[in-house]
Structure formats: structure tokens, C-alpha cells
Amino acid sequence: MIELFKAIGLGLVVILPLANPLTTVALFLGLAGNMNSAERNRQSLMASVYVFIILMVAWYAGQVVMSTFGISIPGLRIAGGLIVAFIGFRMLFPQHKAHDSMEAKMKSEELVDEPSANIAFVPLAMPSTAGPGTIAMIISSASTVKHGVDFPYWVVLVAPPIIFALVGIILWGCLRSSGRLCVWSGRAASRRSPA
């Protein structure tokens, strides 16, 4: 049983710096600004579930999927970088806001009628949390763990789903408390800034 806890601790120490849920929180705050609380909660839950699924697929079928579709690790990194660059440009150059009151009224009616964009899979789950670096590390770990590790076989079978579930739970907790984290960090920054 101690081996299981060691494997889980090691897995979290390796995955969490790569997944970095706090950067996902910053992205979530930037993209979910127009969502109500229920939508933000649903997006955070779905992003966490997607991260768990992505990590499980990367662990159990990563090598097969990548070789089947001819995807290389550098290609995966480039695709993730392009998605992040696209999101960055959208945040840097937001859409033109309506200045005319009639146009603004029509736009607000349209926004009420149409649902908010689904940001749970792209960009929150992938590439922000389960990005190319995380997936590459999981695929390489899955291929090397079969060739010999210091853990019993049952630990190698049981630990990955537990680790991935914990990463999803940590992400869910961070995203659910993102508003409070933003308020807390804003207050802390305002206390440190010179008057």
C-alpha cells in the first residue's frame, strides 16, 4: 500500500508542474468573463472530465493513436502552440464593441438567445492543462514503465487512473474557485502596490 502512495505522489509531482492548473485559471478568467455562474461551473466540471479522459487515453493508447495518425511529438507541440497563439491574439485584439445604443440592444438580445461558447475542451483541457508537454511525458512514461520499474505490477495498473483523477479534481477545484482567487490576488496586489 505504501508503494501505491509513493507512485501517486511521484505522479502528481511530475504531472502538476506540466499541467499547471493555475495558468488554466488565468485563461478561464479571461475567456469566461461573459458567462454566468452556472455556465462557469459547468465549463469547469467538463474541463476536468476532459482532462481526465485525455490523460487516460494518453496513458493507455497514446503511442497507438500517435503512430496511427502519423502525429509526432513536435507536431503536437506546434499544434498546441498555434492554438495558444490564436487565443492570445483574440484576447489582444477583442471584437469591436457596439457604440450605438440600438446596435448594442440588438447585440445583447442576440447574446441572450445564443448559448456561450464551449471552452471546456479547447482551450482549457487541451492545450492549456493536458498540453503537448504533459501528453508527451505521459506517453514516454507509459512506454518506459513496462520495461521495468521499482513498483509492483498492481501499482502500475492502479496508480495512473488515481493520479489522473486527482489532477482532474485539483483542476476542478482551481476553476471553481477562480473568482475567489482573482479577488484574493487583486487584494494582495493592491496591498503591495505603492500608493
pLDDT tens string 141-166: 887 776 667 888 899 999 999 999 99
The CA distance from 192 to 190, in Å, is 5
2, 9, 83, 137 from 6: Cα distances, Å: 6, 5, 35, 19
What is the per-residue pLDDT across 84-131, written as a single tens digit (0 to 9) for each?
A: 788 778 778 877 655 555 665 565 555 555 566 899 999 999 989 998
- 133 lies in which domain range? 2-192
Count the Cβ atoms, other than its own, within 10 Å of residue 98.
Answer: 13
Report the domain count for the chain: 1
User: Distance between CA atoms of 88 and 94, rounded to whole angstroms?
Assistant: 10
CA–CA distance, 181 with 172 (Å, rounded to integer)? 13
Q: Which of 29, 80, 73, 72 is nearest to 185 (CA)?
A: 29
Element (H, E) at 184: helix 178-192
